[in-house]
């Protein structure tokens, strides 16, 4: 069973804040691993973003089959599979996700938010810090 998209009052409440972060870190490309990719095409996902950001939404991760609706570290595995299949396994990456339990090997690359709070002040500061660190390493 594919999960439903968030309810209307839950949708995209953090998108304006994420867009501002992306505007400040122009080198960042986005690969979407959200469950939204199971309901919306890549082009439909891009349409959620302002025009100047859309070209930086470069792909979605592959969808790994679930076992009884659950698979530990599935999200992390999808990210690693995408990195491997695109020849980008050695490149720096970060994940912004509300399902920290889906990460085991690369928790240091995870910026974990809480689904009902989204991208709050604390998470924004942490994401900006990690993006700045990754930018300095390149």
Which tens digit of pLDDT belongs to each residue from 66-114?
Answer: 655 556 668 899 999 999 999 999 999 999 998 888 899 999 999 999 8
pLDDT, tens digit (0-9, with 9 covering 90-100), for 30-68: 999 988 888 899 999 999 999 999 999 999 999 877 655
Q: Contact, 119 vs 113, CB < 8 A?
A: yes
**Where do the structural domains in the chain lie, given as residue ranges?**
15-137
Query: Is the whole-model pTM more than 0.85?
Result: no
């Amino acid at each position: 069973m594919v999960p439903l998209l968030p309810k209307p009052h839950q949708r995209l409440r953090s998108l304006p804040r994420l867009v501002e972060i992306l505007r400040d870190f122009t080198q960042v490309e986005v690969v979407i691993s959200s469950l939204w990719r199971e309901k919306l095409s890549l082009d439909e996902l891009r349409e959620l973003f302002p025009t100047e950001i859309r070209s930086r939404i470069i792909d979605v991760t592959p969808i790994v089959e679930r076992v009884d609706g659950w698979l530990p570290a599935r999200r992390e595995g999808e990210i690693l599979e995408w990195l491997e299949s695109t020849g980008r396994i050695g490149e720096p990456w970060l994940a912004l996700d509300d399902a920290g339990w889906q990460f085991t090997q690369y928790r240091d690359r995870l910026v974990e938010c809480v689904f009902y709070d989204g991208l709050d002040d604390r998470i924004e500061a942490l994401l900006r810090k990690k993006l700045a660190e990754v930018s300095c390493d390149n």
